[in-house]
Amino acid sequence: MEPSNIELQTFRNLAQGRALRQMQAGDVIFQPGESGDCLYCVVEGRVGIEWADGRLSETIEPGCSFGVGALVEPQHRRFGTATALTDGQLLEMNREEFLLAIQELPMFALEMLNDLDGRLRDLKIRTSAEASDGNAG
């Protein structure tokens, strides 16, 4: 799902004055089973996420976030593998930083929910199509 320019600008506003994580193509950001305590916002570049032994994947573009489960579950373990597809920059936020970001820019929460909803909808469509293709033969 392609983010809007508004979402990307929100991430850039949040990134101002904060240290960004530099990534190079091929860098593994996290792997299944690792403890997670932050979410990531793609400011520049692209990140690929794979799970289900590589059967499912998605590409995270600038203006989108991933790893949000770490803010929901106190003992969160990463589910998939996140790998930098290109060089770029990530904004990392732990739960406290995320709550402050929502106070600074309330639209950030709605933009994140919109992004997550779109990605979930896309995943449902893709897995439904794959299941239909598998039943065809």
Summarize pLDDT for 4-27 with one digit per residue, the tens. Answer: 566 777 777 778 888 899 999 999
Mean pLDDT of the chain: 87
Q: Which CATH number covers residue 61?
A: 2.60.120.10
State yes or no: pLDDT of 108 exceeds 90. no
State yes or no: pLDDT of 1 exceeds 60. no
State yes or no: pLDDT of 135 exceeds 70. no
3-state secondary structure of 122: helix
137 within a domain of the structure (yes/no): no
CA distances from residue 16 to 3, 43, 61, 101, 130 in whole angstroms, order as listed: 19, 11, 19, 12, 41
Q: What domain count does the chain have? A: 1
Q: Which residues form the domain of 28?
A: 5-95+104-128
State yes or no: pLDDT of 137 exceeds 70. no
Per residue in 68-85, pLDDT (tens digit) is 989 888 889 999 999 999
134 within a domain of the structure (yes/no): no
135 within a domain of the structure (yes/no): no
Cα-based angle 130, 83, 118 (whole degrees, multiple of 5): 50
